Amino acid sequence: MTDAKICGLTLPEDARLAAEEGARYLGVILVPGSPRSLTPERAAAVLDGMAPVRVGVFVDAEPEAIRSAVRTVALGVVQLHGDEKPEAAKALRDELGIQVWKAIRVRTSADVLEAVERYAGAVDGLLLDGWSAAARGGTGTTFPWKEVAGVRDRIPDELTLVVAGGLRPERVSRAVGLLRPQVVDVSSGVEAAPGRKDPDLVRRFVAAARSIR
């Protein structure tokens, strides 16, 4: 079964709905100044009482800021969206004892292969996102799924593959069929407005992901 991650959560009712519908991961953006950004204290309140794994998104954050957020929010995954080097990611993983995912903005399959070479052994997962000049993520931009599918078998089994970028409920089946990810990740694709989820889209997205085996 492919797991679903609902990211960019800003409201407790949206987090509750995602959890109730069966999302395995709930994501919060901990990047000051970015759309959908929360402070660690607010993120903890939004996710209060939620059972799914909590994922915190960071961009080139100082290690102490990440450590503090992990404690405050009770994160189970640190998702790095900046220019973090493999050795820094590995140091965080070893110190914190939780999963670290590295996000890669993909333009061609060569970007994926380069990321595998650099980060295998240093992180637990690679998140493939669409490339955009506008932002590090959350833009709803896809990457060339069919081209990347051609190198899927060169991603080691020990790396969790997370597919993001431009996903919507009606596109999940195609993404999973081509790329065989363990996790599909969505933010803007299930929103009624920035930071506010559409309940029907969340239900349909999680159901679509969970129906694929």
Nearest to 7 by CA among 186, 209, 139: 186
Catalytic residue among 129, 153, 185, 200: 129
Distance, CA of 111 to CA of 155 (rounded, Å): 12
Annotated catalytic, 3? no
Cα dist from 65 to 25, 69, 120, 130, whole Å: 21, 6, 24, 26
**Residue 153 falls in the annotated catalytic set:** no
Which is catalytic among the residues 3, 7, 14, 185? 7
| Separation between Cα atoms, residue 64 and residue 8, nearest integer Å | 22
Residues classed as catalytic = 7, 129
